[in-house]
Amino acid sequence: QVRLVESGGGLVQAGGSLRLSCAASPSNVRINLMAWYRQAPGKQRELVAMITTGGRSNYADSVKGRFTISRDNAENTMYLQMNSLKPEDTAVYYCNALIFVQQYWGQGTQVTVSS
């Protein structure tokens, strides 16, 4: 059974930074695509950034230039470095992994940005 565990969320002032982590287990599972999604209260879940096994990444326009996604394939861990945070970045952030045709989700980590 694949398990994704996020960490690193918290409360930060506008302009600050946070780094989210997502650890996948078992460690030898081969993950094709990893991504971060977020869901703010009363809104639909939206894609924030995605990254392939080879390191190619894509970002939502709202976070381009501020967020950086990365992954360590050997450790099956993904990161999201979030800089210049804005109050509108407040949401629950979810880790997502695509293994063949099956999607897996983490439990989410809360990010709150105060103005």
**Are the C-beta atoms of residues 90 and 40 closer than 8 Å to each other?**
yes
Q: What is the pLDDT of residue 28?
A: 84
- Smallest CA-to-CA distance from 86 within 68, 58, 112 is with 112
**Measured between alpha carbons, how far is residue 20 from residues 8, 17, 83 in Å?**
4, 10, 11
Per-residue tens of pLDDT for the chain, all 115 residues: 899 999 999 999 999 999 999 999 988 888 999 999 999 999 999 999 999 999 999 999 999 999 999 999 888 999 999 999 999 999 999 999 999 899 999 999 999 999 9
Peptide bond into 26 cis (omega under 30): yes
Q: What is the pLDDT of residue 1?
A: 85
